[in-house]
Amino acid sequence: MRPFRLLALAIALAGASAGDAHATRGSRYVTTGRCAGVPGVQLKVAKGFCVGLAASGLGLPRGVLPLADGRVLVTDLGRWDAPAGRLLLLSPRPGGYEVRPLLKGLDRPHGLQAGPDGQVYLAEAGRILRVNLERTPPTVTPVITGLPAEGRHPLKQFVFGPDGAIHVNVGASTDHCEDAPAPRGMRCPEAERDTPGAAIWRYALVDGRWVGKPYARGLRNAMALAFAPDGSLWQAENSRDTLPGGVDSETLPHDELNRIRPGAHYGWPYCTDMGRFDPAFAPGDCSRHAKPERLLPAHSAPLGMVFYTHAAAPDAWRGSLVIGLHGYRRQGHRIIAWRFDASGKPARNFTVLVDGWQATARHPLGAPTDIKADTRGRLWVTEDRNGTVLVISPE
């Protein structure tokens, strides 16, 4: 096994043990009153909303999908080093939610989406499955297989486009192509080959089978994907961990908010921020790569986002892009929202929707992972480090 894979596995195992250690920490939330029929939690939340603790002790919950009948699906990653993931069903009951596993033995499951055919779709590390909930136990049908499942970023997020095509994140196998042979010039094999990693792939249904092609590249890890009401695809980028030459790695490089255009190259691993060139690659010209629409705090780690368009959303927030900042450094541990103007451009600055996880030692460390809206205007949020599902509800 190559050295970077050993390092990635060590990091993954460390993350798994840390997540397991905190899997039941949801009970440590300071609760008060009720929110959306569950115990309210004492977090700093924007006016007009409350936050409730819907379920805890869920292992490493990643993807979330509220169903039309009030139930909620959640993927539990399980472990990083073995196929031990689960699909969980949260069913409402008086005072909370009953949790029941529907599927077990999944390989690092993350993404959950409702397809245009009304079926549920679930992403394992190496494939995407269609799940038939009408069967007991549910049956699964692979629809996309052969996705790369090794390296530093094996988890898969995906979204359906307005035309029904599936857009899938294929994360970079490294941090910044550090295993490429020198001299590297402005060519990282993973980013430039015909079948790139660090890319979004588009799969269309052709003659009964899903056929994939690269859609956009130079995107290190596109774990936050969402289509806007105007049909445009947006991505929040997890940028590289460090920059060379003693650059302050606490504030650089910034994570990014990108509008995705077909065929564009967004600069990984050569360029970060608004065209900052990495001197490890030479010669370099960042002008040939697409620039971000906005910058996010460094290492804030956006992992889930959704356009908050439902009619039940409060007027001031309707149409905004809500993003969960998972964060493994101080800039994360928040849920933010970006408002868009009439031309479809994001505002200069984001607004904080939920904060305060680090206010006191009594609170668990906030780690929002995925976020989805239901038909009642509530936002459902998974937290893998705390093993919980939160619900953000208009009051």
Q: pLDDT tens for the chain, 395 residues: list them.
A: 333 333 333 333 333 332 332 333 445 788 899 999 999 998 999 999 999 999 999 999 999 999 999 999 999 999 999 999 999 999 999 989 999 999 999 999 999 999 999 999 999 999 999 999 999 899 999 999 999 999 999 999 999 999 999 999 999 999 999 887 766 666 899 999 999 999 999 999 999 999 999 999 999 999 999 999 999 999 999 999 877 766 777 888 999 999 999 999 999 999 999 998 887 786 778 999 999 999 999 999 999 999 999 999 999 999 999 999 998 777 889 999 999 998 999 999 999 999 988 765 556 778 999 999 999 999 999 999 999 999 999 98
Q: Comparing C-alpha atoms, which of 194, 195, 198 is closest to residue 178?
A: 198
Q: What are phi and psi of 37, to 5 degrees?
A: 85, 5
The burial of 113, by beta-carbon neighbours within 10 Å (0-12 exposed, 13-18 middle, 19 or more buried), is given as: buried
Strand partners, 233: 227, 260
Whole-prediction pTM value?
0.91
Q: Comparing C-alpha atoms, which of 264, 230, 222 is closest to residue 340?
A: 230
What single-letter amino acid sits at 144?
A: I
Token readout for 366 is 């906030």
**pLDDT at position 359:** 64
**pLDDT at position 258:** 98
**pLDDT at position 337:** 98
**pLDDT at position 381:** 98
What single-letter amino acid sits at 8?
A: A
86, 148, 301 from 140: Cα distances, Å: 13, 20, 31
Question: Distance between CA 154 and CA 171 in Å, rounded?
Answer: 7
Q: Comparing C-alpha atoms, which of 207, 305, 196 is closest to residue 258?
A: 305
DSSP letters along 290-344, please?
A: PPPSEEEEET--EEEEEEE--TTS-TTTTTEEEEEE--SSTT-SEEEEE-B-TTS
Q: What are phi and psi of 273, to 5 degrees?
A: 55, -145
DSSP letters along 4-48, please?
A: HHHHHHHHHHHHHHHHHHTTTGGGGS-EEEEETTEEEE--EE-TT
**pLDDT at position 246:** 66
Q: Comparing C-alpha atoms, which of 223, 231, 262, 236 is closest to residue 344?
A: 231
**pLDDT at position 26:** 44
User: Are the CB atoms for 133 and 120 separated by under 8 Å?
Assistant: yes
